[in-house]
Amino acid sequence: MNPALLGLLTIVIGVGGCVGYFYFSNVFLDKVLFPASGPNASRNINRANKIRPWLFLAPALLALGLYLAYPVFETLRLSFLERLPGGRTQFVGFDNYTRMFAEPKFMEALRNNMLWLIVVPAGSTAFGLLAAQLTDRISWGSVAKSLIFMPMAISFVGAAVIFKLVYETRPEDAQQIGVLNALWLRFDGGIGSFIFLKIVPAILLLGFAAALAWIVWVTIRKIREPRLASGLKIVFALLALLMAYIAVSSVLNAGSVLTAELDYGTPMTWLTIPFWNNFFLMIVLVWIQTGFAMVILSAALRGIPEETIEAAIIDGANPFQIFFSIKVPQIMSTIVVVWTTITIATLKVFDIVFAMTNGQWETQVLANYMYDKLFRANDWGVGSASAMIIMLLVTPILVWNVYNARKEMR
């Protein structure tokens, strides 16, 4: 049958089936099982009302349970099994995990994913905050916002094609059609190149390190507060350590940026430069997620009470002080929500890597590694084990979200 017709039929059957289920199950409950008449009318009404919620919930619970909850446990089980010829399986304990951790490609994926987890949420939130703050102050801000927000609607695959064109490389004597190479070839090693390719990046890196150092300092101050639970203290201390490490390494990197020998005049194949190519892939996700961060942060910025800002202005605060000392602390909880949401999206990143490099040239990430193992190597054990690693990384955020949701309901 024609798939379009099949689709139409499914809509009719699916929608009709759903409506029919809800309608007839209610009728059945009220008229046949516990009729609201006769000697037991009031008891029957109560009984029916006890059952009705579950009638409403049943299809959704089935979908949730079968398509999300059950797979978590099944994947956990599969990660301890090895498939034997003939469809049998054998329990192998942590064998899949040890095999996986011994594989250099997995360690590469893990390292890259960590890099993604730092750069993409930080980059998107920072750009989003910047865009939100700037666009809120001008008349054509809503137009600007909707244009920055637009990549949200573009698929990862579409974005991959878009950025492949940006990164395209042509031989040295031909015209460059990729924007990045065309720009790159304008630099010839003169004073302009020195400013734009060495001084500016070095300043940016140092600024990033300074921002991190400030956050570390704030975190340490928070840890020393006696009211804080000791569990949270440990988490904060670990985070502070991690950020301190990143800050130190970015200071060191700033030094190496200044002294690096750049290959002026030669077109670069950007996606094949090990380590740095990861950043060229991350730019794609930052480009997509910035709009999301901007929309949410801009709503949060508008929710800040005017009086606090007016009071700061009267006290003589300059715009930067207003932004960093008055506004940012007030929207901190929203920043955390945005950050974690983007973190989850980053953890699952698959399409971009799959379409642009497929994990070659040391750009592997966990989700693509898993896909490789599952469907190319057909190794379900290691594939499931790597899926469990992704789950493990998501779990802290899951617990945090559930904790917040419960707190809110009380």
Partner 1 sequence: MDNIAGTKSTLTWAVHISVLALVLLWLFPTMGLFVSSFRTGDQITQSGWWKAMFPAELTEQFRAADPDENRIETEAGVFVVEGDFRQEGLGGEISTWGTSSRDLAAYAPGDTADLGEGETFTVNADGTYVWQGNADQIEGRGQRVFITALEPPEFTLANYDQVLLDPRNSEGMAKAFFNTLTVVIPATIIPILVAAFAAYALAWMDFPGRALLIAAVVGLLVVPLQLALIPLLKLHNEIGIGKGYLGVWLAHTGFGMPLAIYLLRNYMVGLPRDIIENAKVDGATDFQIFTKIILPLSFPALASFAIFQFLWTWNDLLVALVFLIDSSGETTVMTKQIVELLGTRGGDWEILATSAFVSIAVPLVVFFAMQRFLVRGLLAGSVK
Q: Which stretch binds partner 1 (CB under 8 A): 186-194, 207-215, 255-263, 396-404?
A: 396-404
DSSP one-letter code for 325 = I
Is residue 336 within the footprint of partner 1 (CB under 8 A)? no
Of 78 and 282, nearer to partner 1 (C-beta) is: 78
Residue 91 DSSP SS3 = strand
Q: Report whether 134 contacts 327 (CB < 8 A).
A: no
Find the binding residues for partner 1 in span 202-221 (CB under 8 A). Answer: none
Closer CB to partner 1, 276 or 375, in the complex: 375
Q: Which residues have CB under 8 Å from 272's CB, separation 6+? A: 360, 361
Q: Is 250 in the site for partner 1 (CB under 8 A)?
A: no
Does residue 405 touch partner 1 according to CB under 8 A?
yes
Identify which range of 115-123, 153-161, 219-227, 269-277 contacts partner 1 by CB under 8 A.
153-161
- Residue pair 143/305 in contact by the 8 Å Cβ criterion: no
Q: Cα–Cα–Cα angle for 109, 113, 114, nearest 5°?
A: 120
User: Which residues between 352 and 381 bind partner 1 (CB under 8 A)?
Assistant: 354-355, 367, 370-371, 374-375, 380
C-alpha span between 11 and 350 (Å, rounded): 30
CB of 225 to partner 1, least distance (A): 24
State the minimum distance, in angstroms, from the CB of residue 348 to partner 1.
Answer: 5
- Whole-angstrom distance, CA of residue 105 vs CA of residue 359: 9
Write each residue from 71 to 100 as x if it is in contact with partner 1 (CB under 8 A), else as -, in one continuous string. xx-xx--x----------------------
Q: Does 330 bind partner 1 (CB under 8 A)?
A: no
Q: Which of 111, 107, 114, 80 is nearest to 95 (CA)?
A: 80
Number of residues that bind partner 1 (CB under 8 A): 120
Which is nearer to partner 1, 146 or 249 (by Cβ)? 146
Shortest distance, position 208 Cβ to partner 1, whole Å:
19
Contact 117, 346 (CB under 8 A): yes
Q: Which is nearer to partner 1, 118 or 322 (CB)?
A: 322
Q: x/- contact string, 47-76, with partner 1 (CB under 8 A)?
A: --xx-xxx-xx-xxx-xx-xxxxxxx-xx-
Which of 120, 125, 168, 346 is the binder for partner 1 (CB under 8 A)? 168
Query: Is there binding between residue 387 and partner 1 (CB under 8 A)?
Result: yes
Contact 44, 35 (CB under 8 A): yes
Stretch that binds partner 1, among 168-176, 195-203, 246-254, 264-272 (CB under 8 A): 168-176
- Taking the least distance from each CB to partner 1, the nearer of 71 and 253 is 71
DSSP-assigned states of every residue in 40-89 = THHHHHHHHHHHHHHHHHHHHHHHHIIIIIHHHHHHHHHTTEEE-TTS-E
Q: Does 28 bind partner 1 (CB under 8 A)?
A: no
- H helices of 65-199, in order, are 70-78, 95-101, 104-135, 141-149, 156-166, 179-184, 191-194
Contact range with partner 1 by CB under 8 A, out of 8-16, 202-210, 240-248, 270-278: 8-16
By CB under 8 A, is residue 15 in contact with partner 1?
A: yes
Three-state DSSP state, 90: strand
Which one, 191 or 392, has the nearer CB to partner 1? 392
Could you tell me what percentage of the chain is helix, strand and coil, using 3-state DSSP and rounding each to the nearest 5?
75, 0, 20
Query: According to CB under 8 A, which one of 47, 95, 103, 149 is a site residue for partner 1?
Result: 149
Q: Are strands 81-83 and 89-91 parallel, antiparallel or unpaired?
A: antiparallel
Q: Compose the 278-317 pattern: x for residues touching partner 1 by CB under 8 A, - for all others.
A: ---------x--x-x--xx--xx--------xx--x----
Q: Is 275 in the site for partner 1 (CB under 8 A)?
A: no
Alpha-carbon dihedral of residues 95, 100, 104, 108, nearest 10 degrees?
Answer: -150
